[in-house]
Structure 1
Amino acid sequence: MIELKNISKSFKVFRRSPGFTKAFKSLFKREYDLVRALEDVSFKIDEGEMVAYIGPNGAGKSTTIKIMSGILNPDSGSCVINGKVPWKNRIDYVKDIGVVFGQRSQLWWDVPVEDSFELLKDIYKIPYNQYKSNKAMLTDLLKLEDIIKTPTRQLSLGQRMRCEIAASLLHSPKILFLDEPTIGLDAVSKIAVRDFIKTINKEKKTTVILTTHDTQDIEALCKRMILIGKGKVLLDGNFEELKHEFSEGGELNIDEVVVKMYKEYNV
């Protein structure tokens, strides 16, 4: 389903020392640093798996998701997802994926959520019967009945995130990328989102890749965890096995396990 081999990605970042003189000089000569976001990242994910892709800020999680969703091209390496190369077969490929970025929106800000759904139906060319069925299911499971006719800008963060997840699944994607989907949500909204993700994974065999700093999301949803740090995959394994490995015979909760992993690998 998903296979990454030796994916690397670097960015040129503009740097300048403080002060007016330095700012003036930078107008004529810019200095850049080369930042290695990813370095030889490799892993496989099977159909129907739910995988937590974790790491500290700046580790390369979002860059990996953007490469897997076709937004970015890697500098080197290969990525084949559902038989397609994301950045080469983008038009056909996006029909198979749904993407939710916790700090980005795919809903139109000033129109009711339902109008955004209609626009997405036309963009993805979803057959009417499939669209009607999916919208009814998503509206019911995510409890959107009372907010679907409200403009996006008038929704709370929790309401908007539920609508974002629904929007990403209208076209029945086989793979769902979730980048911080519960960021800033209250406890009730988090539980609703987690229950929904488990339901679609069980009923539709949707493959889910989750990046998050919320350890409760990991414990509730994922059996497998991939740890990335400084652009490299440091650890890949079953969560219960990793928990046993890092507990050293004692009982640790997931927060303590993740902290130990970060310290062990100096990330």
Structure 2
Amino acid sequence: MTVIKMDQLRKDFTVRVKAGRFRREKRTVAAVDGIDLSIERGEMVGYIGPNGAGKSTTLKMLTGVLTPSGGHVSVCGLEPVPQRTRLALRLGVVFGQRSQLWWDLPLRESFRLLKHIYRVRPDEHAARLRRCVGLLDLEAFLDTPVRQLSLGQRMRGELTAALLHGPEVLFLDEPTIGLDVVSKQAVRSFLAELGATGDVTLVLTTHDLADIERLCRRLVVIDHGRVVHDGTIEALHTRYGSRRRLVVDLDAPLPTGFTVEGATLVSVEAEGHRASFDLAGDTAGAVVGRLAALSSLRDLSLVEPDIEDVVARLYAS
């Protein structure tokens, strides 16, 4: 079932630019420039792009905060702007720089207020809260005022607040920004378990590509308001020529002028006792077997391609 559907979605803004010493003129800028995209129920989608690419503008149109300039968008079968109140009951939203918790109230009281705002049945609210408290380890600070929580604790509270009414779609905008390693791991583990159930469709925008690799099978990259990649992370690596790297330690240097089918020599170090190869197509096992026929191997390691380098290359192109 298609949960999110965008057809030629556009959002234009009018800005004033300098057109002389004392004069300014109006200019129309397309923040989102004709996006066609469908997201199915239960998908976990990474939605990324450089600053100013149109990520946050897209999310604001999907949640009914902004009215599109053109095209059509539907979320859960509803039009976000005219049916914003009905849609809000079916969405969960977490923005890294915004809070839906009450600053001076204990965390527990914020959750209680949200139960009344969303009109959630007491038994459903209690069951969801117990699950989130257990998975996100909230028990120790449920009675602490929100203003006294650390950033990591508050973000775990924000995730819980977004899920207590049982949303069908969860939008996450930079959910791990500024978090320490332990808090990031807790949030990622929770979202991975949430996504594994298939009950919630998750759309994640972030500059932390480790979040994308950990959570999302599908990756949508936009730039200048247009989709430039829609597919798996593996397809992105293939498209932009990234390769796995094999590093081998040798008992003796490889013979002069050698070649290894399925691999390209990148570097030789330690007086010929260490060599690095980019794998072109064959499996690592096949290449290791061919190397072992040329020289005795002492140790080896396989380095996966860095998604940050691939995405940086995509933006540059």
User: For 1:166-177, what aligned pairs fall within 5 Å after superposition?
Assistant: 166-177=160-171
- 2:311 alignment partner, one of 240, 258, 263: 258
**2:98 aligned counterpart, secondary structure:** coil
Cα deviation digits, residues 90-144 of structure 1 (max 9, x gap): 1211111100001111111111111111111111100000001111111111111
Equivalent residues of 2:33, 2:225 under 8 A apart: yes
In the TM superposition, 1:212-223 aligns within 5 A as 212-223=206-217
CA offsets 1:15-74 (integer angstroms, 9 cap, x no match): 679xxx97xxxxxx9865433211101101111111110000111100101111111110
Match of 1:63 in 2: 57
Structure with the higher fraction of residues in helix conformation: 1
- Could you tell me which of 186, 194, 200 is aligned with 2:194? 200
Of residues 101-110 and 32-41 in structure 1, the stretch that sits farther from structure 2 once superposed is 32-41
* Superposition RMSD in Å: 1.9
Give yes or no for contact 2:237–2:243 (8 Å, CA) kept in 1: no
Higher relative contact order (CA 8 A, sep 6+): 1
Q: Which residue of 1 aligns with 2:225?
A: 231
Structure 1 counterpart of 2:80: 86
Q: Which has the larger radius of gyration?
A: 2
Contact 2:48-2:205 at 8 Å conserved across structures:
yes
Please say if residues 101 and 146 of structure 2, whose CA atoms lie closer than 8 Å, have aligned partners that are also in contact.
yes
What's the counterpart of residue 26 of structure 1?
none
Q: Could you tell me which residue of structure 2 aligns to residue 183 of structure 1?
A: 177
Moved more, 187-196 or 29-38: 29-38
Q: Which amino acid aligns with 1:110?
A: D
**Higher mean C-alpha displacement, 38-47 vs 234-243:** 234-243
2:100 is matched with which residue?
106
The 1:202/1:248 distance shift into structure 2, 3 A limit, reads closer
Of all paired residues, the percent bearing the same amino acid is: 46
Using the alignment, how far apart are the partners of 2:117 and 2:48 within structure 1? 32
Conservation of the 8 A alpha-carbon contact between 1:158 and 1:189: yes
CA–CA distance in 1 between the matches of 2:99 and 2:315? 30
Q: What CA distance in whole angstroms lies between the structure 2 residues aligned with 1:119 and 1:239?
A: 40
1: CA distance, partners of 2:30 / 2:141:
42
Gaps of 5+ in 1: 23-28
Preserved CA contact (<8 Å) 1:9 1:37:
yes
Whole-Å separation in 2 of the counterparts to 1:58 and 1:247: 26
CA distance in 1, matches of 2:56, 2:242: 32
User: Distance between the aligned counterparts of 2:117 and 2:26, measured in 1?
Assistant: 38
State TM-score, norm by structure 2: 0.76
In 2, distance between residues paired with 1:174 and 1:225? 20
**2:134 pairs with 1:140:** yes
1:95 maps to which of 65, 89, 113: 89
SS of 2:139 mapped into structure 1: coil
Greater shift in the superposed pair: 217-226 or 4-13: 4-13
- Deviation, 1:220, is 0.4
Write the distance in 1 (CA, Å) between the matches of 2:9 and 2:174: 22
Code of the aligned partner of 1:259: A
Partner of 1:209: 203
Where 1:188 maps in the other structure, the secondary structure is helix
Structure 2, gaps ≥5 residues long: 246-304
1:152-163 to 2 correspondence within 5 Å?
152-163=146-157
| 1:48 and 2:42 are equivalent in the alignment | yes
Moved more, 189-198 or 246-255: 246-255
Kept after mapping to 1: 8 A contact 2:242/2:310: no
In 2, distance between residues paired with 1:237 and 1:174? 23
TM (norm. structure 1) is: 0.90
Q: Is the 2:43–2:201 Cα contact (8 Å) retained in structure 1?
A: yes
Please list, as runs of the form range in 1=range in 2, the aligned pairs for 1:112-127 lying within 5 A after superposition: 112-127=106-121
Q: Give CA deviations for 1:206-261 in whole Å, capped at 9, x if unaligned.
A: 11000000010011011111111111111111111211222355542111111121
